[in-house]
A and B are shown apart, each in its own frame.
Chain A
Amino acid sequence: GAVVSQHPSWVICKSGTSVKIECRSLDFQATTMFWYRQFPKQSLMLMATSNEGSKATYEQGVEKDKFLINHASLTLSTLTVTSAHPEDSSFYICSGPVGATDTQYFGPGTRLTVL
């Protein structure tokens, strides 16, 4: 299957700082990637759709000014959590759909802890 990587795998930061999470498709090109958030013992919630070369599409209730998404190339999408607060602590996972199979391939996730 296709490979998606994320960096970093975990990060601890102080409240008020910004954190950037990278999502790379290693063996396929992705004009679209998806960012999900997962709180402990809960399911994944779609945050936004990242579109290469254009603005991201955010789900209802997700603050676009707080969660900045940049999809500058066909293999890289970044999520920046700006002015992070403890309530932003979560597991962030990206995914990329692959062609006609409709299968999505997920990155290993990034654990964000805001102190």
Chain B
Amino acid sequence: SQQGEEDPQALSIQEGENATMNCSYKTSINNLQWYRQNSGRGLVHLILIRSNEREKHSGRLRVTLDTSKKSSSLLITASRAADTASYFCATAPNSGGSNYKLTFGKGTLLTVNP
């Protein structure tokens, strides 16, 4: 079943603007991860935030996690045309081992116009 639900489903912005995507989930998690997928390609891991963390940064990416609301947001600052891709959140109920499974949301298609 789809644990995560991203919104918006699609987002179109101009280069240089910031892009914010949200993800909601339903059950308890160990960690939440964000991935990027260029059209027809595999997934690239962007950032992982654990359930005891509230905010994390990596370069132009900022991720927040609110476990009380079961939601997360991904902010991409100063967007570039190369950021055009689909972005997925994925939740993990456990840490490590063969029972470690990711449940993916439906994704947000981000288009950054030059």
Interface residues of A (CB under 8 A from B): 1, 4, 6, 31-32, 34, 36, 42-46, 49, 51, 57, 91, 93, 95, 97, 99-109, 111
Contact = CB atoms under 8 A, between A and B. Distances in A.
Interface of B: 2, 30-31, 33, 35, 40-45, 48, 88, 92, 95-98, 100-107
Given A44-B88, A49-B98, A51-B98, A104 B45 contact: yes
Contacts of A51: 98
Contacts of A1: 45
Contacts of A4: 42
Given A6-B42, A51-B98, 16 more contacts: A36-B104, A43-B105, A45-B104, A46-B102, A57-B98, A91-B40, A95-B102, A97-B96, A102-B96, A104-B45, A105-B45, A106-B42, A106-B45, A108-B41, A109-B41, A109-B42
B42 A43 contact: no
Given A43-B2, A43-B107, A46-B102, A32 B41 contact: no
